[in-house]
Amino acid sequence: MIRVLLADDEAMIRSALAALLDLEEDIEIIATCADGDEAVAEALRLRPDVCLLDLEMPGRDGVEVAERLRDAGGVRCVVVTRHARPGVLRRALASGVSGFLPKSRDASEVAAVIRRVAAGGRYVDPEIAADALSAERCPLTDRELDVLRAGQRGESTAHIARSLFLAPGTVRNHLSAALGKLGVSSRQQAVVLASERGWL
């Protein structure tokens, strides 16, 4: 039996997908979670075989959950998303995600990916992979992206510095470099541009 934790902030999707996957003879939904922080806590407590994670959730997003679980001992994760931007795929793969697919797939396809990942394999949706290969490469460094991501809701420089364990001056330097590379004049413009291109 494959023990699965399911995390999605949309209650209707979460309950419907859980019910459909529970119909599979070899899959058992052992927990459902409404946000990324709850998903981390429950995954660390229950140690599922596979975590099925929505990309966009309150608190930690699906990729951040996968990173945390990778660092805590390697629970295998599959990320599903409505907005499968190429930059997000690259970020997900770098975080150790084992599967990546759009929410448009039906439950039987999701179940097949869960089985593949539980058996030690990986899966990336072919259309998303093709888009990622043809997409423009991000000019920003990983740290510049971290700083933009940490401040994408308008957080102060001091808050970003604390959350990333950096000095405020270092955060300002990374922000300045990112604005210059993207050719914009404000952090908000940089966040919008980077998000539109799938880099955040």
User: DSSP string of 71-109?
Assistant: HTT--EEEEEES---HHHHHHHHHTT-SEEEETTS-HHH
pLDDT at 135: 62
Which residues are CB-neighbours of 99 under 8 A, at least 6 positions away?
77, 78, 79, 113, 114, 116, 117, 122, 123, 124
Q: Which CATH class is domain 2-134?
A: alpha beta
Q: What is the pLDDT of residue 136?
A: 65
Write down the pLDDT at residue 177. Answer: 94
- CA 36 to CA 32: how far, in whole Å? 11
CATH number of 142-196: 1.10.10.10
Please give the structure tokens belonging to residue 160.
Answer: 């970003």
Query: CB–CB of 40/67 below 8 Å?
Result: no
Spatial neighbors of 160 by CB under 8 A, at least 6 apart, are: 147, 150, 151, 166, 171
**pTM of the predicted model as reported, rounded to 2 decimal places:** 0.71
In the chain, CATH 3.40.50.2300 sits at: 2-134
Q: What is the pLDDT of residue 79?
A: 94
What are the φ/ψ torsions at residue 39 (nearest 5 degrees)? Answer: -60, -45
Q: What is the per-residue pLDDT for 134?
A: 61
pLDDT means per 10 residues, the chain with 200 residues, are: 96 95 96 96 96 91 91 87 74 87 91 97 87 73 92 92 93 94 92 82
Residue 117 is predicted with a pLDDT of 97
Q: Please, where in the chain does CATH 1.10.10.10 lie? A: 142-196
